[in-house]
Structure 1
Amino acid sequence: MGLNTEYPFTLPKGFVDDEGTLHRQGVMRLATARDEIEPLRDNRVKDNEAYATVIVLARVVTELGTVRVNTATIEKMFASDYRYLQDFYRVINFGDPSILESMEPGSPFPEEAATVG
Structure 2
Amino acid sequence: MKLPQVVERFIETQHIFDSKAFAECFTESAIVHDEGKTHNGKEEIQQWINHAMEEYKSALEPLNYEQSESKGVLTANVSGTFPGSPIVLKFHFDFNNGQIQDLKVTD
Using structure 1 for the length normalisation, give the TM-score. Answer: 0.29
Using structure 2 for the length normalisation, give the TM-score. Answer: 0.31
**Larger strand share, 1 or 2:** 2
| Structure with more contact order per residue of length (Cα contacts < 8 Å, sep ≥ 6) | 1
**Larger helix share, 1 or 2:** 1
